[in-house]
């Protein structure tokens, strides 16, 4: 596709439920990033992939968060045993090569009830 595609667009999860968020980057983009954006705040870095290699996961807030990109294209962010503080918009971004020129997806709005 022409842009970064994320699904689902909205997700409501009961506390304790596991969720999986999908990101389909722009074709050929080597770098893929996940960010978390709380209401009224700027995006905060979670993790970074270069192709299939996860080069930085220092932003993941706990071991309940896990991300993968097994074939170097589509990525999945998984959150286990969701808690209310996980409620946020999860943004995926990709860029060509190792450049800075991010293109963000529209995000997945996760609400934990």
Partner 1 sequence: GENVEQHPSTLSVQEGDSAVIKCTYSDSASNYFPWYKQELGKRPQLIIDIRSNVGEKKDQRIAVTLNKTAKHFSLHITETQPEDSAVYFCAAPRSGSARQLTFGSGTQLTVLP
# residues contacting partner 1 (CB under 8 A): 23
Query: With 0-12 CB in 10 A as exposed, 13-18 as middle and 19+ as buried, what is 105?
Result: buried
Using CB under 8 A as the binding rule, whether residue 70 contacts partner 1 is answered as no
Using CB under 8 A as the binding rule, whether residue 90 contacts partner 1 is answered as no
Q: What are phi and psi of 68, to 5 degrees?
A: -145, 160
- Would you put residue 41 in left (φ > 0), alpha (ψ -120 to 50) or beta? beta
Judged by beta carbon, residue 88 or residue 91, the one nearer partner 1 is 91
Tokens of 43: 């995006």
Q: Which of 107, 108, 110, 112 binds partner 1 (CB under 8 A)?
A: 107
Q: Which of 7, 54, 59, 76 binds partner 1 (CB under 8 A)?
A: 59
Using alpha carbons, list the distances in angstroms from residue 112 to 33, 77, 108.
23, 16, 13
Stretch that binds partner 1, among 16-24, 34-42, 61-69, 70-78 (CB under 8 A): 34-42
Binding stretches for partner 1 (CB under 8 A): 31, 33, 40-45, 48, 56, 59, 91, 95, 98-107
């Amino acid at each position: 596709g022409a842009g970064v595609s994320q699904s689902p667009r909205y997700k409501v999860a009961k506390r304790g439920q596991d969720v999986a968020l999908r990101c389909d980057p722009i074709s050929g983009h080597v770098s893929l990033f996940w960010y978390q954006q709380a209401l009224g705040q700027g995006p905060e870095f979670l993790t970074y992939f270069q192709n299939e290699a996860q080069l930085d996961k220092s932003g993941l807030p706990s071991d309940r968060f896990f991300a993968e990109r097994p074939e170097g294209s589509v990525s999945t962010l998984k959150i286990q045993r969701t808690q209310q503080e996980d409620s946020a918009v999860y943004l995926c971004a990709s860029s060509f090569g190792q450049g800075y020129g991010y293109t963000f997806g529209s995000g997945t709005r996760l609400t934990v009830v």
